[in-house]
Structure 1
Amino acid sequence: MKTVFVSSLCYDTDERVVVARLDFDGTWYHYSYTRGVLRAMYLLPFDCKAKVQHVQYWPELPPRIAVRRMRKSRSEYPRFLAWMGLDAPDAMAELGISGGIKATDSFQTMPLPERTPEGQYVTDFFTRGLWQAGLPSVDAARRLATGDRLWLIKDPLSPWCSYKLFADPDGRGPYVGYLPRLFATDIARLLDRCGSAVEVRVRQVNQDAPTVMMVLCRLTSPWPDGFLPFDGQDDFVSLASPDPVECTDEGCIECAFHRQQAAYKRGHEETAISA
C-alpha cells in the first residue's frame, strides 16, 4: 500500500493543514478525509456531512488529485520525470516527490514514509521556499552537486518549527530552501533519537527546472524501534468509518456516484475470488 497526504494552506494563519489521504493498493485508489479537514472545513465545500466518513474508491486517480500530475501527453513529461529522478511513470511516486504543487492553488501532496527492508527512514523531496529566499539562495542552490550534504537548522523565526537547509554545518552563507514543513515534527523526533545519523543529501540539481523542482534531496535516518510517522498528529488521522453515515440526499450526485463505485469494487473483487 502506498499513501500520500493532501494538505492545504490556511491563508488567514499561514498554517498548512492535512485534509485528506490517498492510498493505492495496486489496483484501487482509496480517497478519504482526515481530521484536519474539521479544522479547515471551509477549504473543502461539502454538500453533505456523510462524505467525510466514506472512503471513495477510484480505479484511476481521483480528478482532484489527477490534476496535480503532469499529463503524459505533454512534451515536457519525460523531463518532468527526470527532474524527480524517476525512470518510469509512477503516479504515487510523482505525487509524493513533486508535492503536487500548482501555481493556481495552495494544495500540496506529501508521502507517508515507509520503513525500508534495511530498517531505514527514507524520503525524497524538493526544497521549499527557494525563490522566496532570494537570488543569493538560488545561486547557492545552483552550485550544489549530487551527494552534497545539507544541514538541518531550525528557523528560530518560524512558528511552525521549520528547518532551513544549509550547505555548511554552521549555517553560514545563504540557505538553499526549507525541509517541507509537515515533516518538521517527525524530523525533530528522529534528530532527538538518532542525532547526526539523520542526513539530508542532494540527489540532483535540475538547472533547467523551476525553483520548486530545482534541488532534489533525500533524507535518510535509522528507523527507531516503535517509531510511527506522524504519530500523535491528529490532522493525519483518517475520518473513514467502518460504519459510515449514509447520505440521504437524493440530489447529492457525488455520493450516489461513490456508492456505485464501491458496489462495482465489491463486485469486481467477488468475481476475482470466484475465478
Structure 2
Amino acid sequence: MCQELILSWQNTKNKQLLPIGRFSKHGDAYSFIYTKGAKQAREQGFIALASSMQDFNTKYFYNDIFPILKNRILNKSRPDRKEFLKWLNIDSNNSDFEELAKTGGVKATDNLFLFPVPIKKNNQYILEFFSQGISHLPKNSQKRIEELEKGEKLFFCADLENSQDENAHMLRTNDPVEIVGYCPKYLAKDFKKLFDLSKKSFSIRVKQINKDAPDRLRLLCEITCDWHKDFSPFSEDEFALN
C-alpha cells in the first residue's frame, strides 16, 4: 500500500522534470513538505502549489486528502470506476494514494506528476508500474503487447542513443524480440541502480494486460528485486527535504 508520493513539476520549455515535494499519509491525516528540487524549480518558473503553501520550509497538514490530489482521483460515483480500478489492479474503492501512484495523477491543465516512494517488503523492492510510450510504438509492437501473457518476462534495456533522456530504458520481449514501451522516466534511474547492485534477483514481468484501456494504462508491469544494502530510492539531493 502506497503511503508516500513524490510530486514533480515539469518545465514546459526544456521538459526537465523536478521533484518539488512529498505527500505522506499517516492513518487519516495527510502532510506535505517541499523538497530541495522545489527551489530549483522556482528558478525555472515554478511559484507554489497554492497561495496558502508559499513557504518552502514549512510542513503542511490536512485532515483530508489535499485538494490538489483529490481532483486527480476518478470520481467515485462514476459508473466506469470499477473497471478503472481493475485496470490499475486495485481491489479497494478507498485506495486514493495507490490510484495516484499508478496513474501519476496526470491532468491536461497543468504540468504536475506524481509517483510512489517504494516500501521495502521482506528486504525486497516490489513495484507495479505502467509501460510508457505505447502510443508511439509501431504496429508490430502494439500487436505483441496484445499477445503478452501474465508473468511473461520483460527485458530491461538502455536506450543509449536517446538524445532527450540519458537515463531512458526500454522494455522488450524475448521471442520474438519487440519493444513494448519504456520504463517511467522517474523510475528508470533507480531501476538501473537495482540492476547493477542485484542483477541476479532483478526481474520485470507482465502483471496485467488491459486491452480495452487507454494506451497509458495498457501494460501493467511489476519489478521485483532484492533491496541491496547500498540502495536507497531517490537518493539524489533534489529529492531531499528542505
Instruction: Compare CA radii of gyration and give the structure with the larger one.
Output: 1
Matched to 1:179, the amino acid is: C
Partners of 1:59 and 1:135 lie apart in 2 by 48
Mapped pair 1:164 → 2:165: no
Structure 1 residue ranges, 4+ long, deviating more than 6 angstroms after superposition: none
TM-superposed CA distance for 1:24, in Å, is: 0.3
> Pairwise mapping of residues 92-131 of structure 1 onto structure 2 (< 5 A)?
92-116=97-121, 118-131=122-135
What SS does the aligned partner of 1:40 have?
helix
What SS does the aligned partner of 1:74 have?
coil
Residues 11-36 of structure 1: per-residue CA shift (max 9 Å, x gap): 22222211111000112110121111
Partners of 1:205 and 1:235 lie apart in 2 by 34
Matched to 1:220, the amino acid is: T
Q: Which residue of 1 aligns with 2:57?
A: 53
Higher strand share: 2
Note closer, same or farther for the CA distance 1:120–1:36 as it changes in structure 2 (3 Å cut): same
What SS does the aligned partner of 2:114 have?
strand
Give the conservation status (yes or no) of the 8 Å contact 1:160–1:181: no
Residues 97-143 of structure 1: per-residue CA shift (max 9 Å, x gap): 22212333332211101110x21001111111111234333222222
Q: Which residue of 1 aligns with 2:20?
A: 19
Mapped pair 1:154 → 2:155: no
TM-score normalised per structure 2:
0.90
TM-superposed CA distance for 1:218, in Å, is: 0.6
Partners of 1:221 and 1:119 lie apart in 2 by 9
Paired residue for 2:47, among 40, 44, 48? 44
TM-score normalised per structure 1:
0.79
> Pairwise mapping of residues 173-192 of structure 1 onto structure 2 (< 5 A)?
173-192=177-196
> Pairwise mapping of residues 1-275 of structure 1 onto structure 2 (< 5 A)?
2-41=3-42, 42-45=45-48, 51-89=55-93, 90-116=95-121, 118-158=122-162, 159-168=165-174, 173-231=177-235, 233-239=236-242
Q: Tell which deviates more after alignment, 16-25 or 151-160.
A: 151-160
TM-superposed CA distance for 1:91, in Å, is: 0.9
Q: Root-mean-square deviation (CA), in Å?
A: 2.0
Matched to 1:123, the amino acid is: L
Partners of 1:140 and 1:14 lie apart in 2 by 30
What SS does the aligned partner of 1:145 have?
coil
Q: Which residue of 2 aligns with 1:264?
A: none
Note closer, same or farther for the CA distance 1:160–1:107 as it changes in structure 2 (3 Å cut): farther
What SS does the aligned partner of 2:20 have?
strand
Unaligned runs of at least 5 residues, structure 1: 240-275
Q: How many percent identity over aligned positions?
A: 26
TM-superposed CA distance for 1:47, in Å, is: 5.2
Partners of 2:26 and 2:218 lie apart in 1 by 31
Partners of 1:49 and 1:95 lie apart in 2 by 21
Residues 185-216 of structure 1: per-residue CA shift (max 9 Å, x gap): 21111111111421111110001100000101
Note closer, same or farther for the CA distance 1:137–1:11 as it changes in structure 2 (3 Å cut): farther
Matched to 2:168, the amino acid is: S
What SS does the aligned partner of 2:179 have?
coil
